[in-house]
Homo-oligomer: A and B are copies of this chain.
């Protein structure tokens, strides 16, 4: 089979790249660190985007669009945020090309078209948005502002991986403005819940909900809530963050409102985002050595019908009937009408693409009034009576969604290890991987030492961690609850 890929055991990182390539999700591009999202990969992103958009709107948010560029003077206004992104940003300095006098047909940057002020291609939009909010907010009656934006952003990362870390990526960024601290915190936590619900119910990807240590916070945030997922190789993936920004941006951009006592106050803020990185998480949560495995709720098509050995009018008519009946239940179906490829090739292809359910329809099936149903997650095949296939497939898709979640959760749960010494920490990290639940003294110093020595970072301080006194695995100082360490993407 032309489509064979590296096994996970042999080389997890190569396996990942092989899936991205051979399932047709993305391709490299001529621009360093930027990928092309191919139609099949983009169709997954559309499914994610549509569902998230629905959840944002159901919780009272509206969409808007702010400029791609941030003038340098605005970019640097919130100093911590600027410092966090200054080293990895694309900078526009000129606005015109001209003919190269020394090289016919070629162009050079026109030195006379230099911008007075450089423009930063947004790595995130707090600066440009809070500079705008200043004009929109006068009174408490103008609050809250609950805006989301679907956009591209650019972070000039040195080492990139498709979906997981790319110079340009697609995301949504919410930017909200509130009259009180407690309302802003409630907003950040509301979105944290939306993200967790989306990850678990739609991506079938279990997550730990927690908040970040000071070191790992978003640059410019007072608190960062995060959902952390576990990939099959034992490394963590930060899947979505929502930030309580305090009054930091309001102060940097002088955004105040008059409260109901007519006093001027700085506005409270949140921001939050998830990105095409989620597609990387999806791949590494469910897929196997035959290719991509997709949860039915996010599959571009959920069912494929393959006429065997090839499409003929009778088989196609039957396939169409089944397809129409499934579509009437809201199930997306593709009928394979390609006559140039053999069934075995097609089966491997749809396995590679992670199509949740495959229906094989042959002449003998028509005679026996049965159809072969193959599920992608377990690779089990069953022969089903033709008149039962529609309800069977409908319920099977739910089963697959649930099975993927439970399987990922079982793996994740078996890879949360309580460790109580630094030796054990290093041993588990090296030999088992996963999330390490351990005591930490709460200092950045210890956190940095551990990172330096082991590459593990604090993924989060879980929201549901019970208070439990113990001693920091590194410093031996007292600690009041366990935090989660892991190596991370």
Contacts and interface: CB of A to CB of B under 8 A. Distances in A.
Interface in A38-72: 38-39, 42-43, 45-46, 62-72
A4 interface: no
Contact of A93 (B27, B72, B105, B109): B109
Interface of A: 27, 29-31, 34-39, 42-43, 45-46, 62-72, 74-76, 79, 82, 86-99, 105-107, 109, 118-121, 128, 131-132, 135-136, 141, 147, 151-152, 154, 156, 168, 170, 340
B107 A86 contact: yes
Nearest to A118: B109
A39 B63 contact: yes
Max chain B CB contacts within 10 Å: which of A31, A75, A88?
A31
Question: Closest 3 A-B residue pairs measured CB to CB?
Answer: A34-B67, A39-B62, A37-B65
A87 B96 contact: yes
Given A39-B63, A90-B92, A128 B31 contact: yes
A37 B129 CA distance: 12
A97 B86 contact: yes
B36 A95 contact: no
A360 to B, nearest CB: 24
Contacts of A79: 105
24 contacts: A30-B74, A31-B71, A34-B67, A34-B69, A35-B67, A36-B67, A36-B132, A37-B66, A42-B63, A43-B62, A65-B170, A68-B121, A69-B168, A72-B107, A82-B107, A86-B97, A86-B99, A87-B97, A88-B95, A91-B93, A91-B109, A95-B156, A97-B120, A152-B152
Given A68-B34, A152-B68, A96 B86 contact: yes
Nearest to A129: B36
Contacts of A89: 95-97
Contacts of A94: 90-91, 93
Nearest to A65: B37
B67 A107 contact: no
Contacts of A36: 64-67, 132
A465 B267 CA distance: 60
A96 B89 CA distance: 5
B91 A97 contact: yes
A45 B62 CA distance: 13
Contact of A64 (B42, B93, B154): B42
B88 A91 contact: no
A29 B127 CA distance: 12
Contacts of A29: 66-67, 128, 132
Nearest to A86: B97
